[in-house]
Amino acid sequence: MTSLVTARNVSKHFGSTRAVDDVSFSIEKGRILGLIGPNGAGKTTLLKALLGLTDCDGDLSVLGLDPFKQRKELMQNICFIADVAVLPRWIRVSQLLDYVESVHPNFSRSRAEELLSRTKVRHDKKVRELSKGMVTQLHLSIIAAIDAKLLVLDEPTLGLDIIFRKEFYSNLLADYFDEERTILVTTHQVEEIENILTDVMFIVDGKILLDAPMETVSENYVELLASGANAEKARNYKPIHERDVFGKKVMLFEGTDRSLLAELGELHTPSIADLFVAKVKGASA
């Protein structure tokens, strides 16, 4: 596989605060990576470094370029969606399409028009006259019409209702993603993107706790639902996290042979949210 992003010992300090602390990772072409972390974990700082909005220590390459020194060239092949409020509220939809067509060489006006024709977004409307869901549809239609290699999504569905959130990710897969493109997405609504991710990365206090393909996660981690004496026996295999559910114990194990646990209770693959909580609490302990 070909790495679109390569980070080696990347750090960013603000005074005594280490927002990003000596991280190393790579993001391959044709992957969908979920960057998961609590508020203040370093996600935004890391995204800013990838987008060339801030410098950093260490070696960082995005599409073979230094994002801070070669940002103009880099942005020809990157698209970015944060909160939809970044679109000017005074501009009309038709004017917005005119503007993007005039400034971005890789934008296809016809493609954007085709995608918008599937929505209720009217060309004569101003952004401020659209619902938040419509603004998201407009934003995604523009992004999907740009021939870019990397799409960065930072809480793209924040504030949207569940129907629009589902439609957003469905349209993203249908209209944008392919094996030549890569998507990096951050969100606190982990359960909504879990089924589309190919890779996951946990970041806490500027450090990476987990960086793995989803298939590896399902192979290396398992949850056991047990009670009584079986729960006591299971503790001998050193779970990394334990919680109570309706009087039973749910224990999460890393790298433990499933055959050793199978006779002690029910086995399940942990959700990304549960795995994240376990890794964070384990790191704190």
Residue type at 221?
Y
Query: What pLDDT does 161 receive?
Result: 82
pLDDT of residue 151: 92
Distance CA(193)–CA(29), nearest Å, equals: 19
Whole-model pTM: value is: 0.89
Q: What's residue 85's pLDDT? A: 56
Tally of CB atoms within 10 A around 102: 9
The model's pLDDT over 49-81, given as tens digits with 9 standing for 90+, comes to 999 999 999 999 999 999 999 999 998 899 888
Residue 12 identity:
K
pLDDT digits (tens, 9 = 90+) for 99-117: 999 998 899 999 999 989 9
- In a 13 Å sphere around the CA of 143, the CA atoms on its Cβ side amount to 28
Compute mean pLDDT per 10 residues along the chain, 285 residues long, and list them.
88 91 95 92 92 94 95 90 76 96 92 91 95 86 89 85 84 84 90 92 95 94 95 95 92 94 94 93 69
Burial 236-245 (b: 16+ CB within 10 A, else e): eeebbbeeee
CA 224 to chain centre: 27
Would you state the pLDDT for residue 285?
Answer: 57
Where helices occur in the chain by DSSP H, the ranges are 43-50, 71-74, 93-103, 109-116, 132-144, 162-175, 190-193, 214-220, 228-234, 258-262, 272-284
> What is the phi/psi pair of residue 36, to 5°?
-115, 135
CA 273, 279, 283, 285 dihedral sign is positive
Strand-pair partners of 213: 199
SS (H, E, C) 120-131: CCCCCCEHHHCC
Quick one: pLDDT at residue 155?
A: 86
Length of the chain: 285
Q: Are strands 248-254 and 221-226 parallel, antiparallel or unpaired?
A: antiparallel
What pLDDT does residue 284 have?
Answer: 65
